[in-house]
Amino acid sequence: MLKCRDVPAEAEALLDGELSLGRRVALRFHLFMCGNCRRYLGQLRLLLGAVPQMHGQASDEEVDQVLKRLHDHSH
Ligand SMILES: [Zn+2]
């Protein structure tokens, strides 16, 4: 499980478009659970501007689908 201290490095890789699907899911799942990191990433995105399109990688919809499945299993 991703820890808060791991989020900055993962977020940088995400913004660089270098994050694999599995790591993106882990990051999104952490952000889903953790308001602090959500706020952190929101500020990072504001600082850096819009996140560039990540061609050839999993779409946000695909990540959301995986997250939704994870969420369903946790109940
Ligand atoms: Zn966190």
Provide the domain limits for residue 69: 4-73
Cα of 3 vs centre of ligand 1, distance in Å, is 6
Tell me the per-residue pLDDT of 48-59, one tens digit each, with 9 for 90 and over. 665 555 445 566
Cα of 31 vs centre of ligand 1, distance in Å, is 7
Other CB atoms within a 10 A radius of the CB of residue 66 amount to: 16
Cα of 9 vs centre of ligand 1, distance in Å, is 12
Asked whether residue 16 carries a pLDDT value surpassing 70, the answer given is yes
Q: Scan for tokens 């602090």, then name that residue.
A: 36
Q: What is the pLDDT of residue 34?
A: 95
Per-residue DSSP letters for 9-56?
HHHHHHHTT---HHHHHHHHHHHHH-HHHHHHHHHHHHHH-SPPP-TT
Q: Looking at the whole model, is its pTM more than 0.75?
A: no
Cα of 25 vs centre of ligand 1, distance in Å, is 14
Q: Regarding predicted confidence, which is higher, 69 or 4? A: 4
Tell me the per-residue pLDDT of 17-66, one tens digit each, with 9 for 90 and over. 888 999 999 999 999 999 999 998 888 777 666 555 544 556 677 777 77
DSSP 54: -
